[in-house]
Amino acid sequence: MRRHQERHRTERIGWLRAAVLGANDGIVSTASLVVGVAAANAVRG
């Protein structure tokens, strides 16, 4: 008996998902660093 093989788009675009999530991670990391430096240099009062 022959097995049914179904192709899904998620199998083919795994690299796109990884790129988007990686870019998002980089943006969040950079923004966190900038906010931390800005907060450390802030003047109170």
What is the CB-side half-sphere exposure of residue 9 using CA atoms within 13 A?
Answer: 2
Give the pLDDT confidence score for residue 36 in this predicted structure. Answer: 96
pLDDT tens by residue, 1-36: 788 787 777 677 888 889 999 999 999 999 999 999
Half-sphere CA count of 12, side-chain side, radius 13 A? 4
Cα gap 16→12, rounded to integer Å:
9
pTM over 0.75: no
> Which pLDDT score, from 0 to 100, does residue 6 have?
79
H-type alpha helices, the chain: 9-12, 14-40
Residue indicated by tokens 């988007």:
20
Q: Where are the domains of the chain?
A: 9-40
Q: For position 9, what pLDDT does the model report?
A: 72
